[in-house]
Amino acid sequence: MEGTRTNQRAPSAPHPEPEATSVRASFRIKELCQQFPHGITDQVIQNDMPHLEPQQRAMAINKLLSLGQLDLLRNSAGLLYRLKDSQSTSKMKGSDNQEKLVYQIIEDAGNKGIWSRDIRFKSNLPLTEINKILKNLESKKLIKAVKSVAASKKKVYMLYNLQPDRSVTGGAWYSDQDFESEFVEVLNQQCFKFLQSKAEAARDSKQSPMVQRNSSFATSHEVWKYICELGISKVDLSMDDIETILNTLIYDGKVEMTVIAAKEGTVGSVDGQMKLYRGVNAIIQPTGLVKTPCGLCPVFDDCHEGGEISPSTCIYMSEWLDF
Amino acid sequence: MTAQEVRLCGLLLQEHFGEVVEKVGTHLLKSGAQNLRTIIHETGLSVDLVKKSLCVLVQHGATTFSSGRKGPGSPTEYHTSCDRILRILRYPRYIYTAKTLYGDTGELIIEELLQRGHTTMSSTVKTVADRLTQNMAEGRTMDYTEVSLTFSKLVETHFLQRCPPLPGVGNKDSSAPSETPATPGTPAAPVNTAPPTPESFPECYKVPSVTLIGRGKRQLASEDGEEQRSAKRAKMDPETHGDEGIYWQVNFERFHLHFRDQTIISAVANKLDQTSSEIVRTMLRMSEVTTSPMATCTKPLSANEIFRSLPPSYNILRPILDQYLTLLVDDPMEFVGKAGESGGGMFVVNLHRALANLARATLESVVQERFGSRSARIFRLLLRKRHLEQKQVEDFAMIPAKEAKDMLYTLLSQNLVQLQEIPKTPDYAPSRTFYLYTVNQLPTARMLLQNCYKTVANLIERRLFETKESKRLLEKSQRIEAILASLQASGAEPEQLTEVEEMITAPEKQQLDTLRLHINKLDSAENQVDETIFLLESYINSTNASS
């Protein structure tokens, strides 16, 4: 949208005008709007009908506005008039101006939705009115409330037929506002198994080391295809989703990643580069400290000789020694 | 010298040298350098005992002495440091390494030197030969030449070094017995040692930097390989062998370098494959004597040199070797780096970086074992990304918000993770401040090191406690063993033997077995924790050197 909606009326004319001129003027203005779907300024109307006086013009515009056929917008250059599409015009029949206002605000918020308090700020209406209007609109099935995943108490409103944005629902990992940890775990393990088996196959192939290493790599695209074919996911996962899963594997220390330059046309390349992943082993065995009970003891800091918790009386040590 | 270190040193001194030495040692550790009179006064022991304890400590290199603070005329002050005493934990590892590298002879030589602190070569050789002879079959004896050969090999590879010469005020009480009682059956082949040619000993430092002193290999070459007089008499008179006053000690630093190399090689083998680890082993072997202990990386080696020095059993072709080297360089762990293109590519082993990676793996493994793999995921994430907000941590790690919060707070309370505040406004209002989680590797490593010291001290105390509990039982079993041995020596009949054996009842036997099991477990646990201590100490020292 080029400008913001205003709720002002065009400057009203001081003298009454003959009916015919104003009807013709309104018609002409509507035609102009249809010609320029992005909106027309006052200047355009004046150029088209130079004989029309400013007062007549204003009256024509006001009539169209009150009929709900024209939208008044404001942008940096000045006022803009745009034809309202007929469908929404029909929807709003029977609602009063306040509801129209609230509906406009919610429509503006797009698929991110808008919070009731923000609606109040934008419309300057009292809270009770807002709530009444929202209930009204909801019953008319024009808007709906979506629970936000970020703050579970917050409800955002958006148009009925819109898909909520990913930031509100949390994307593929959230179903009904709940983080699906088992789903993530399963995907995690599947990806890891895939990469591990690829690395093992490469190791067993006994070719030259360079070929071995290169064949143990898998691009993110390959992993994505594998997961899609596996069919364990109810929702469609994009390559970005798979990459976040692979990143968690990197943070688990099981996988490493390199980035290589790839030609633009190759499958799976993003901006001329591809990410490659391969399974790796840990570089050391679990360290010596954790093989003793003291390394894992939850009361390590409280333990000293002669106290209630001491090495001589330590129950963890006794259990460990008798193991 | 932290409290944990002092406690551990006290326990080690008590076990190896007794209570009196422990008292003097811990007193010196806690109060810094002091002169003799102050020590006597503050510990309350008699002059004689204090003197003897100081001698023991000096003999083992734990204490050094120097002229006092007020200048050369004032009484000498004695200064003890923790490091040398903490090495006592590692003695089994040193002995085992010597065994793998130089066989039983090497093992016994190192054991002798560790037990006595400083000895002359001749006395060591004699004692070791005697011990080996005792274990060999009847009629066979151990030749001195073999032992001295091993000794010289140990010196050549810098595992042994000379003790630095002391200033005139030194009262070195060498416990090295220069008179060895004769053992029957030992062929006398004394090592004739010519007086050493004066080495260019540098000024004796108060804190001996042992890297400069003690490279006596040239001298040893002239001492060794002498004509071996084979005398027919078995009795060994106390004779001077010409190496009086030249005392040898174990070069711990060299052993540490060896351990470090071993760890790097096994890490490469775990991460890549056996062949790559062999290549790294060759590289490290070639740079053993040319690299200084504190170096960041080894001297550059050309691919041609590496190819020539590879063990022939591996049969690697030249282009394959090049591929392996490229793979090693490309590996994210950065064990090997490329330093140039001449000679087919110049390669170095990045020692400090390898140590840092190993220390980081140690930290991660501790977090994983202690708190679970999801906390380990958060820990690794923070190590990689340095600073993150709580929301970002949850998103990257893909852990539900509530659990992630819980884990982060647990890690924070254990001080493994720190919080960094970045204010948006001059007043640190909590709603307008960024709180970022971060992990600092070096301080965390230090903290874990102190925990290791405490753990070892706990294990030792538990072991002492267990022994004390079953003291009565142990004494009884010892008595019975002594009776059995004497009976067997005097040729008793089997019934008498069984009668004596039955004096220990079955449950007591079981108790003894359990006790033995426990003590072994605790011992091996001490060694395992010592491995962690070694890694963390090397990492911390390497950062000290470079900073």
DSSP-assigned states of every residue in B162-215: EPPPPPTT--------SS----TT--B-----PPPPPP-PPPPPSS--TTTS--
Interface mutation vs chain B, best among A251, A260, A275, A318, most B CBs within 10 Å: A251
Class level of CATH domain B3-80: mainly alpha
**Biggest CA-to-CA distance, chain B:** 94
DSSP letter at A3? Answer: S
* Beta-bridge partners for B415: none
Contact B398 A184 (CB under 8 A): yes
- Tell me what pLDDT residue B164 has: 72
Return all residues near B149 (Cβ < 8 A) that are at least 6 apart.
B224
- Tell me what pLDDT residue B177 has: 28
Contact A173 B398 (CB under 8 A): yes
Which of A209, A253, A312 has its CB closest to that of B364? A253
Whether chain B has a CB inside 8 Å of the CB on A119: the answer is no
CATH T-level assignment (fold) for domain B256-349: Arc Repressor Mutant, subunit A (1.10.10)
Where do runs of H (alpha helix) occur along B386-440? 390-397, 401-413
- Tell me what pLDDT residue B97 has: 92
CATH 1.10.10.10 in chain B: give the residue spans.
Answer: 3-80, 90-165+245-250, 256-349, 370-439
Rg of chain A on CA atoms, in Å: 33
Contact B369 A314 (CB under 8 A): no
Chain A, nearest residue to B519 by Cα: A321
Percentage of chain A modeled with pLDDT above 90 = 0
* Beta-bridge partners for B162: B248
Instruction: Compute the average pLDDT of residues A274-298.
Output: 83
Min distance B113 CA to chain A CA atoms (Å): 27
pLDDT digit string (tens) for A43-102?
A: 777 777 777 777 777 777 777 777 767 777 776 767 777 766 655 555 555 456 777 777
- Tell me what pLDDT residue B199 has: 26
Which of A210, A290, A300 has its CB closest to that of B327? A210
Show residues of chain B in contact with A203, CB under 8 Å: 273
- Tell me what pLDDT residue B270 has: 87
Q: Is the dihedral of CA A42, A47, A49, A51 positive or negative?
A: positive
Structure token digits, residue A247: 């990143």
Which of A253, A296, A322 has its CB closest to that of B369? A296
Whether chain A has a CB inside 8 Å of the CB on B389: the answer is no
Percentage of chain B modeled with pLDDT above 70 = 83
pLDDT digit string (tens) for B270-325?
A: 888 888 888 888 888 888 877 777 788 888 888 888 888 888 777 788 888 888 88
Q: Pick A19 or B42 by higher pLDDT.
A: B42
- Architecture of B90-165+245-250 per CATH? Orthogonal Bundle (1.10)
Interface mutation vs chain A, best among B8, B323, B365, B406, most A CBs within 10 Å: B365
Tell me how far CA of residue A230 lies from CA of A192, A194, A222, A243, B92, in angstroms.
14, 11, 12, 17, 53
pTM: 0.75
CATH T-level assignment (fold) for domain B370-439: Arc Repressor Mutant, subunit A (1.10.10)
Amino acid identity of residue A241, one-letter, is D
| CB-based burial, B209-227: b 16+ in 10 Å, e otherwise | ebeebbbbeebbeebbebe
pLDDT digit string (tens) for A126-161?
A: 778 778 877 887 888 777 777 766 666 677 777 777
What confidence category does residue A257 fall into, taking pLDDT thresholds of 50, 70 and 90? confident
- Tell me what pLDDT residue B235 has: 33
Min distance A238 CA to chain B CA atoms (Å): 16
Taking 50 as the pLDDT cut, the residues of chain B under it are 168-240, 242
In this model, does residue A191 exceed pLDDT 80? yes
Which of B267, B399, B452 has its CB closest to that of A289? B452
Amino acid identity of residue B58, one-letter, is V
- Tell me what pLDDT residue B395 has: 85
Min distance B225 CA to chain A CA atoms (Å): 44
Helix, strand, coil share of chain A (percent; to 5): 50, 15, 35
Contact A303 B458 (CB under 8 A): yes
